[in-house]
Structure 1
Amino acid sequence: MLYKRSSALFHEAQNYIPGGVNSPVRAFKSVGGTPVFMKKALGAYLYDEDGRSYVDYINSWGPMILGHTHPVVLEAVSQQLEKGFSFGTPTELETEIAKFIIERVPNVDKIRMVNSGTEACMSAIRLARGYTNRDKIIKFEGCYHGHSDSFLIKAGSGAATFGNPNSPGVTQGTAKDTLLARFNDLASIQELFHANQGEIAAVILEPIPGNMGCILPDEGFMQELRKICTENETLLIFDEVMTGFRLDFGGAQKALNIDADLVTYGKIIGGGFPVGAFGGRKEIMDYLAPMGPVYQAGTLSGNPIAMRAGLTTLTILDQDRDLYNRINTTTKILHEEISTILSNKGIAHSINRFGSMVSVFFGDKTIRNFDDAQQADHATFNQFFHHMLTEGIYLAPSGYETWFISDSIQNIEIEKTLEAVEKFKK
């Protein structure tokens, strides 16, 4: 049995942890089978409790852009640990990383650190509502912004994986203030603005969605969305928890040449440690307590270990801008070669890619939005996932997720991946 110890650990975990996992998609409920328990990670590889290794294409769902346990980051964190784990006071390090980000990304004058992407998006929405004195927000079907109540309405990612996008526990009062638009469908957005004139505080979206698989915006879609928000005095919020410092050093704002009013961050800016952040124009951010009336707080916000890991990671990226060319090239090679192999096998598929994010969908349909993603052939994806896992390739255990490529993926890992795809039989 390949996963003997993982199976035993999962059985035990279910006695103490709901579903045996601390984040639902880890349970393998979508793809079936027993989740693999990991013991360690290094470079491009994960190592499980049964002694098997895997080329890693989730990279902790995005933050490990340098690969796992990068030696420079590891050394910086080790030195920071000796100075203390958490202070509950301001530190110079918080200012250093805030200044670093603000000086290098477009349209962010001030930024506040929090503890997760969920917290960042939740806080950004509260700030937008307080700043505009409006209650309603628009989100897009299939875009996932964490598990805050306002967002669990036809969300992507784990919510879609389990076929339960409207989570029990979310009140009707909360749900009525969240309006749903379809990604890449400007008419659906215009209809919502027309029906709710003067009531919409913000539009929030993943500029390159990664929680219904990687989805690309149609040409002109983002520009028109920016225009609609400006005309209606509605804040545009980019959820860059995934895309921030991954698609480009300036994130999706720079890659798409669109200025958002507020931007949320996470993942890469913590170097693999729990972190989140939200930032934007000065007049909006100054509406936060203690300067303004919108309250937001967090005991571990700006944790020195996360700040050191994040600042070190960002510094490496800043000093090696060619890294983006390398990982984008790696992703392009994987995209093209996998597509060629599947086509030669007569397996219907489509692949979406932007930068170092890529998704393989099975079926004849081009995937442009959440409805399309739901109509993909998820049964074939599940077969593909387990085949690749057996071959030592770790993919996200859901057809609604994105692969994240790291700089540690080299030719040997690409070859191993393509050899595994060659062996796949539908």
Structure 2
Amino acid sequence: MLEAKNRLGIIFFPAFDWAISATHPEREERLLYTQDQLREEGLFDIAGITEYKPEIATREDVERVHFCIPGVESVCTKSHLISAGGAITAARLVMEKEEEKAFALVRPPGHHAMKVVHGNRGFCNINIEAVMLEHIREQYGPLRVAIVDTDCHHGDGTQDIYWNDRDTLFISLHQDGRTLYPGTGFPHELGGPNAMGRTLNIPLPPGTSDKGFLHVIDNLVLPVLEDFKPDLVINSAGQDNHFSDPITNMNFSARGYAMLNRRLNPDIAVLEGGYAIQGALPYVNLGICLAMAGLDFDGVREPEFDPAAIAQSDQVSTYIERLCDEMLKVWRKPPALPKQGERSGDWWVRTKDIYYDTDGISESQVESVLLCPDCSGTVKIETWSTVNPLSVGIEIPISACDRCAGIGRRLLEEAHLKGNYRYVQCIDRKAKRYTRYGF
């Protein structure tokens, strides 16, 4: 009887009752074909591979991560809470050692959802990996975590959430933002002033194939992870780098995804994008499941797979090799301060304009981070949009020093008493207090 080398938990949630539209690429069929494929291949007949049902994330789980304006219920549905709950289930299985690894095959996705949420952007309402991670930090204590995002689109939401967190390393491999939504994710985006180098972006040229992705893993990602020494590695497993994906321009294969996963060796994988619903997703998901379970995946082949037709050019290979060399140097000696923003007294201030492409909402932000040598620093975000008036969010990090925690709590009191803001929210991770006014 075939037996998994690594005990693997798989969590399914196709979200039957939620879609942007009936024909939108991000719809329930993304997972129904995968579900059929895994059952036809007898994956759940393998000893050590177990299917689980998702739990439901709570409003408190979401508010531990996001400033939802005007509130959680206004920006996400129960399907979003179950998707995030599926990711939480995956993490719980690993943290409590019920399984050695877990893969949350859930939708809707989440990696374009930023710290502040006014609506849906990039098919995402809440960031399911961040909700998962902060849930387990709350339950199991501080963790040093690496999130490696292999979606074809830059994980701008995850980057935004962890921009100022020195205990979270965010690495994104994606198609160059000059050629694809959301138009961000460049090498100079390295994190906030207290967390420089904790964000690493590897923008890859269109036409990158297995060879290029695996070169990045071997020559950049793995050396960085070895230096960082995370307690946990999470893979945001977007699958739209596949050569057949209808909305991207890359040449990755199902077997290449499995090889990447085998080398990366994540503790937890969470599905993000991937819109070749029949020709890629069932095969990529099967390959990843086999890789996580420590089983042979050489027989995984998708339709129309022709290695010669999707081989990357020498020019692309040379570009990727140089980029990896440069980014490894940056990781080992990052700049003192980010290019984004400027100093204002004890604060580092940057402004942002964000467009919610799905909902047609325009937002503006002023983000202020308290400069601190001892912790990630208290963050204050003033936000307003075409659907919501001026509001403010204040975050005190879980590892905040006494100075940053005290200043953050004074900011909350002032924001509430002065009445300049329609909605006031404070995420006090140090005290585990989550305060809302005006909701």
TM-score w.r.t. the length of structure 2 is 0.30
Looking at secondary structure, tell me which structure has more helix per residue. 1
Structure number with the bigger relative contact order (C-alpha 8 A, sep ≥ 6) is 1
Looking at secondary structure, tell me which structure has more strand per residue. 2
TM-score w.r.t. the length of structure 1 is 0.31
